[in-house]
Amino acid sequence: MSTAPTLPTFNTGALTPTQLSSLVTGITFATGLAQKLANIGVFNSIGGCTLAASTSATYVDVTGASFSWTKLGDGSASNILAILLLSCWTSVAATQPTFGVGIGGTDYDVASMTVNPVSSHISIGGGRSITGVAAGAYTPKLRFKRAAGTGGVNIDTGDTVSMILIEVPL
């Protein structure tokens, strides 16, 4: 992708050929960038998702955390940037929840953190590139597993869950 052009300041009168050329170059650049970044899926829920004291060592769904999204490029034409931002709480210190995104039957780890405060809502966030996903319609889901520790992990009405998927052309 080319570098964004510097647009001239238009103060008075008609545009000169150089100014007009710069303006057209800027519009062309912005249009191309918008087309490449247009496939963005966003899910956000404040207090609407639940995970009830889960101790599962394998991935399970976080209830209420999914949305419809269509990947446009095939696996060799684009990747997915997955970003998770959420809050949760644990019942026992030194519990390590891991959150991921499930796409097309495959789970991808995105964020993991050892939580020490008991019964205190904490924030967890992460991002990763996901490769090799074919073009098509999907229902991405927020997924959870406990990677370490003995506590149950909870998401309740006091928590926010956000999931962002951005298709990135190669």
Render pLDDT for 68-84 as a digit per residue (tens, 0 to 9). 999 999 999 999 999 99
**pLDDT per residue as tens digits for the range 78-121:** 999 999 999 999 999 999 999 999 999 999 999 999 999 999 99
Higher pLDDT, 128 or 25: 128
- The CATH classification of domain 41-169, taken from the options 3.40.50.2300, 2.60.120.660, 2.60.40.3950, 1.20.810.10: 2.60.120.660
This prediction's pTM? 0.79
Domain ranges of the chain: 1-36, 41-169
Name the nearest CA neighbour of 81 among 50, 56, 108, 60: 108
Helix (H) or strand (E) run with residue 146 in it: strand 141-148
Confidence of residue 19 (pLDDT cuts 50, 70, 90): low
